[in-house]
Amino acid sequence: MDPLSSTSDPGRAVYVISVAAELAGVHAQTLRIYERKGLVEPARTPGGSRRYSDIDIALLRRIQELTNEGLNLAGVKRVLDLEHRVAQLEAEMRDLQAAATATLMETHRQYRRDLVPLQQSVIPWLDPRRRR
């Protein structure tokens, strides 16, 4: 396995800062600025060197995309925070929808148990003397 390849685990931090900068299309100094601003948090080796993962590279590319659209770094941070929150809420909504669907299906199963087949149902007695 190639030591610079993180294809098996996109969260595995393997890229040194110069490689990460090249992959993201920015300068290494820009990555240091992004880190100071809290936009990215690379892993650190025991010696303190930065290591970036494929997930970090994707984030760096997203940051570049937003800055190219004219956002400053504070705006980029806000957008990234909001995108993260939206993703959390969407996951929560999917979980709630699944729970609601399961509850609905169980309720319908209970209704089916309570239904009496037509052949066994009670037929109301109609008094022939009664006028309609």
pTM reported for the whole predicted model: 0.68
Across 7-11, 63-67, 82-86, least confident range:
7-11
Chain segment 61-81, per-residue pLDDT in tens: 999 999 999 999 999 999 999
Chain segment 96-126, per-residue pLDDT in tens: 999 999 999 988 887 766 666 666 666 677 7
CATH topology of domain 17-113: Multidrug-efflux Transporter Regulator; Chain: A; Domain 2 (1.10.1660)
Q: 80, 61 in Cβ contact below 8 A?
A: no
Percentage of the chain lying above the pLDDT 70 cut: 84
- Given a cut of 50, whether residue 1 has pLDDT beyond it is no
Q: Which of 15, 27, 2 is nearest to 57 (CA)?
A: 15
